[in-house]
Amino acid sequence: MAVGDAHAGHRVGICPPQFQTAIHGEQYHRIQVELYDFYSKVVQLLKPIDILIHNGDAIDGPGSRSGGTELITTDPNKQIEIAYQALSLAEADKYVLTHGTPYHTGQDTDHEKVLADRLGATIHSHVWLDVHGTVFDCKHKIGNSGVPHGKGTPIAKEWLWNQLWAIHDEQPKADVYLRSHVHNHFFCGGPDWLGMTLPALQGQGSKYGARQCSQEVHFGVVWFDCYDDGSYKWNRKILRAVSQKQAPLIL
């Protein structure tokens, strides 16, 4: 199971029931409930889960750009607890985390390391996982495209860089490339590779996204079945949240 961008502590980040709150208004409380209900149902359907990958930005951090006004808590320890409760729901045999962006996860301290320790996980800046012969290349950050038809370019660039590193035996040659950061699920590939940006575990509701971004925000989960012969199948589940649909302002 592969997820990313939980942004625990944000008003539309992943939020188990015991942390859900209406302090930002009933609209955001409804979003928290709908998102987590969807997430928990998908997790239960996927169990048993062998490996859970969380691909960076598990917590939202201090929210300094908005003065903390979008957070349900600014305490990194409580944010870590929220993320822990959400991810531990999977009861995965193994957890693998990647570091997110310093703005969210700590300029001076890697707060996600504390989360990794709680989960009994390993945490990496960039990691390659060999699962029955399928090699996953996992890293949080990736560039973005300003146009929908250009979204494959950043992923293909990651594939090509890996090919060049692998020529000199300095990186494992990967089969699947997982990136996050952009909160939008897109995939592309070729006969022997698949690359994607993972959907987020954060919904719509940040001031930055609303005021400076145009692309769709996708909330959801991706999963893989890997077989002993090196083959794999994959699928995803994306929520179109009723609580986040926009309506025109009637004057």
Return per-residue pLDDT of the chain as tens, 251 residues: 999 999 999 999 999 999 999 999 999 999 999 999 999 999 999 999 999 999 999 999 998 888 899 999 999 999 999 999 999 999 999 999 999 998 888 877 889 999 999 999 999 999 999 999 999 999 999 999 989 999 999 999 999 999 999 999 999 999 999 999 999 999 999 999 999 999 999 999 887 777 888 889 999 999 999 999 999 999 999 999 999 998 899 99
User: pTM score, two decimals?
Assistant: 0.96
Looking at residue 213, its pLDDT comes to: 82
Looking at residue 211, its pLDDT comes to: 83
DSSP the chain: -EE----BTBTTS---GGG---TT-HHHHHHHHHHHHHHHHHHHHH-S-SEEEE-S--B-TT-GGGTTTTBS---HHHHHHHHHHHHHTT--SEEEEE---HHHH-SSS-HHHHHHHHHT-EEESEEEEEETTEEEEEES-----SSGGGTHHHHHHHHHHHHHHHHTTSSPPPSEEEE-SS---EEEEETTEEEEEPPBS--S--HHHHHH--S---EEEEEEEE-TTS-EEEEEEEE--GGG---PPP-
Q: Which CATH class is domain 2-244?
A: alpha beta
